[in-house]
Structure 1
Amino acid sequence: MSEDSRISRYDWMEAELSERESRALYREMKNLERPPKAGELGSAGKWLYKGGKRLYNLSSNNYLGLSGDPRIAQAASRAQEQWGAGATASRLVCGNHGCYRELEEDLAAWKGREAALVFANGYMANLGVISALMRRGDAVFSDRLNHASIVDGIILSRADHFRYRHNDLEHLEFLLKKHDSPAQRKLIVTDAVFSMDGDAAPLHQLVELRNRYGALLMVDEAHSGGIRGPHGEGLCHEYGLHEQVDVIMGTFSKAFGVYGAYVCADRVLIEYLVNASRPLIYSTGLPPMVVAAAHEALRIVRSERERREKLRELSAWFRQQMHAWGLPSIPGESPIIPWLIGDNARALQTSSMLAERGISAVAIRPPTVPDGEARIRFSLMATHTRAELARALESIRAVAGEVQEVGR
């Protein structure tokens, strides 16, 4: 291929990347480095290492601090010795090792549902469920701030997509009335806790609308599973609504500190997904060692309530401190605590300034959040201490003052 031909093929990519950079929307991956001390955890713990610097980790979804738990690593090692490194095939071919059945039975019992189904990850679970249950001509009603995997699942289903304003029940009911056809399947879908705002969905009212309009209701518990509920079951369980939600999806990649996802529902719905969910049918199964690690994490989540209690206390205190210092945020009870900045370039600058002070806190920009709502997303872990967070907050307050001075 000549140089001129290469340029003509790719010049639109160069132009789009340049345009993204001009709007402070360019993204790049930054490698994490190994901890300098033998045996010290890197991204699994409270510290990250980038560019030769040690950074206090306020970016991770490892809410309960389980990613580095040696019990989970040992469970994975035992499974690898028994089953090998990989699943070797789709679960419907020969990749459905016995550890899957054991995990799914415990998941169903934990969630108080008839059956469970494990997927490769949360993205595949949302794609697989929505595209299997909905079809062209059906209607999906989705919160405007739902995760991208929910949006993509709706697109893949080819159903009509109606986005209601964030947690706006009047708008949702208006759309349900307007598109209330007995010939349509209807699905209401929402995050339980929203990944970038940290607030919760009004699940009681959503259940009422589900019943009133004959819709299915799907709740994504990715950021509430392991954290909410008496044994970490999630927000649906905490509110006593888990039997009135048709599909409860959750992940093992946040509070569980591992990888993978699950769906809990009535048995007939799970059987239908096994037969109709293309991301499940046509994907190689998770490695048995990952399934075993998730199972051990589930055992720890169910039994070690003190992790949730500590995380809840730290999150409430951190929010109070931010409010006292006038740092704009969003009310909530989750460990996701956004510092609203607004401007994309300023959010990037703020993140860089925090890194200079030894804090890893990532700038979140569109399209992950709406235009004009760029922010720093703080994310707390049960392994943080109040003393450590107090020192971090002093640096955050100092950076806030510097950013205000620069913006004047």
Structure 2
Amino acid sequence: MENLTGRVDTYFRTRTRGQKGIIRDLIMTEDAHHDITLCDNDYLNLVHHPHILAAQIEDLKSSAGRGAVYSPLFLSRETMNPHTQLEDDLGAWYGKDCYLAQSGYAANVGLMHALCLPGTNVYADMFVHMSFYDGLAARKVRLHRCQLNDAADMEDKIRQHGPGLILVESLYSVSGDFAPLVDMVRLRNEYGCLLVVDESHSLGVYGAKGLVHLHGLQDEVDYVTASLAKAFSTRAGVVFGRHGLFVKEHSFPNIFSSALLRNDIVRIRAAWEVICDADDRRARLLDVSRRLRSELGEVSRLASVSGTLPSPIVSLCADDEEQMARLHRHLSKKGILGAPFFPPATSPKHPVLRLTVHANIRQEDVRRIVEGVASFYAITARLV
């Protein structure tokens, strides 16, 4: 207990001096009007899409009920309720069994519960989402963390320790970097591993089905997970895999949490319908992502990314939390709202301000963002 008290005291003394919490003390901006919002993950700008809202409103007006407020484990396929019907429809569309979870976090934790036993070898890219690590900790696996996008490092570890589970994100949420999926498939096939790809930030963005399908690797990736709080602009998670029933019946979040509410199911289906017909939005998103990254690269310190595809995640590097907070406040005063990332979302030495592009960013918005960032780095250079 004394150690816990010391940790709490140190936290308030060093990281949140006003004792209002790190968000309020470190990064909250003064009241300002932000007309360029780059802090969420609504890549296709669907949160207020009229088709999606109309579907939800119509459902609320109906007498169909609220849905199942108990564990989805008890939902029967024989009755074809909205939850299991949507799972079946999404699975047929994607080409794998589908399991809907309460969130992307719950999807990843639950999948680790299902696939891993104590002593299982797990080869995880060091920047995979914290939800995977939570699930792995509960299973007491043999965890081997690998360097970002370093297939050679991962291969060395697999040779040393033997087959196991490979974990990567197709598009990394902090850096905007792409995983070498072809290399991961080769390691999976050559060494008899299972491959799990988190497509939270790419599902619906690079084609409706994401990067695994875009590269034609869907038959060689065992499980794909995603948070639907990104391009699908809703709250839920999804797992696509070979044995959906096995995953559902071994996932603690699925067993011990309530099913998604009916209105959430309605929203997911409506968003899915829009995403399947959103090639124009995807084209605009990737075009503005390419232009913004190119122009910012001339005036700022960008996190580098690999690959030839444009990334809608543009991260500005800072020397420490204070500099990142100053950049955040500087842009906020100019009407531009980004998303500060710092421990535990990043390492202590590499905080970033993440700018997440969406399909409705205009050319004049790109100009304002670049000018705002350039002015901050110019001021910082003069102060050094």
Is TM more than 0.5 here? yes
Match of 1:346 in 2: 323
Q: Judging changes above 3 Å, is the alpha-carbon distance between structure 1 residues 134 and 77 closer, same or farther for their aligned structure 2 residues?
A: same
Distance 1:25 1:18 in 2: 6
User: Structure 2-normalised TM-score?
Assistant: 0.91
Residue type of the alignment partner of 2:213: H
Query: What's the % identity of the aligned pairs?
Result: 26
Q: For 1:199, what is the secondary structure of its paired residue?
A: coil
User: Structure 1-normalised TM-score?
Assistant: 0.86
Distance 2:52 2:250 in 1: 32
Cα contact 2:83–2:260 (8 A) shared by 1: no
Cα contact 1:336–1:379 (8 A) shared by 2: yes
State which of 97, 117, 121 in structure 1 corresponds to 2:99. Answer: 117
Aligned-pair CA distance for 1:69 = 1.0
State which of 176, 185, 196 in structure 2 corresponds to 1:218. Answer: 196
Match of 1:251 in 2: 227
State which of 379, 383, 392 in structure 1 corresponds to 2:356. Answer: 379
Distance 2:93 2:75 in 1: 27
Distance 1:27 1:348 in 2: 14
1:330 is aligned to 2:304: yes
Deviations 1:76-119 (A, max 9, x none): 22333344345311112359872212321232133222x21100
State which of 160, 170, 191 in structure 1 corresponds to 2:142. Answer: 160
Distance 1:271 1:223 in 2: 25
1:105 is aligned to 2:91: no
Match of 1:367 in 2: 344
Q: Judging changes above 3 Å, is the alpha-carbon distance between structure 1 residues 26 and 242 closer, same or farther for their aligned structure 2 residues?
A: farther
Structure 1, 121-130 or 396-405: larger mean CA deviation: 396-405
Deviations 1:155-185 (A, max 9, x none): 122111110111111110111011116xxxx
Structure of higher RCO (CA pairs closer than 8 Å, 6+ residues apart) = 2
Structure 2 residue runs without a partner (length 5+): none
1:59 is aligned to 2:39: yes
State which of 175, 191, 194 in structure 1 corresponds to 2:169. Answer: 191
Question: Cα RMSD (Å) of the superposition?
Answer: 2.5
1:206 is aligned to 2:175: no
Aligned-pair CA distance for 1:324 = 2.3
Cα contact 2:228–2:237 (8 A) shared by 1: yes
Paired positions, count: 374
Distance 1:375 1:300 in 2: 32
State which of 76, 83, 89 in structure 1 corresponds to 2:56. Answer: 76
Match of 1:42 in 2: none
Cα contact 2:56–2:267 (8 A) shared by 1: yes
Distance 2:122 2:229 in 1: 26
Q: Judging changes above 3 Å, is the alpha-carbon distance between structure 1 residues 180 and 11 closer, same or farther for their aligned structure 2 residues?
A: closer
Residue type of the alignment partner of 2:297: H
Cα contact 2:300–2:373 (8 A) shared by 1: no
State which of 86, 91, 96 in structure 1 corresponds to 2:72. Answer: 91
Match of 1:36 in 2: none
Residue type of the alignment partner of 1:84: G
1:146 is aligned to 2:112: no
Match of 1:46 in 2: none
Structure 1, 391-400 or 378-387: larger mean CA deviation: 391-400
Cα contact 1:343–1:374 (8 A) shared by 2: yes
Aligned-pair CA distance for 1:278 = 1.2
Q: For 2:48, what is the secondary structure of its paired residue?
A: coil
Q: For 2:355, what is the secondary structure of its paired residue?
A: strand
Distance 2:94 2:17 in 1: 44
Q: Judging changes above 3 Å, is the alpha-carbon distance between structure 1 residues 21 and 10 closer, same or farther for their aligned structure 2 residues?
A: same
Cα contact 1:144–1:163 (8 A) shared by 2: yes
Distance 2:37 2:13 in 1: 31
Match of 2:252 in 1: 278
1:18 is aligned to 2:12: yes
Cα contact 1:89–1:95 (8 A) shared by 2: no
State which of 296, 301, 312 in structure 1 corresponds to 2:275. Answer: 301
Cα contact 1:117–1:264 (8 A) shared by 2: yes
Distance 1:8 1:203 in 2: 47
Q: For 1:262, what is the secondary structure of its paired residue?
A: strand
Q: For 2:263, what is the secondary structure of its paired residue?
A: helix
Residue type of the alignment partner of 2:65: G
Structure 1 residue runs without a partner (length 5+): 1-6, 31-48
Aligned-pair CA distance for 1:201 = 0.5
Q: Judging changes above 3 Å, is the alpha-carbon distance between structure 1 residues 216 and 23 closer, same or farther for their aligned structure 2 residues?
A: farther
Distance 1:139 1:314 in 2: 41
Cα contact 1:350–1:403 (8 A) shared by 2: no
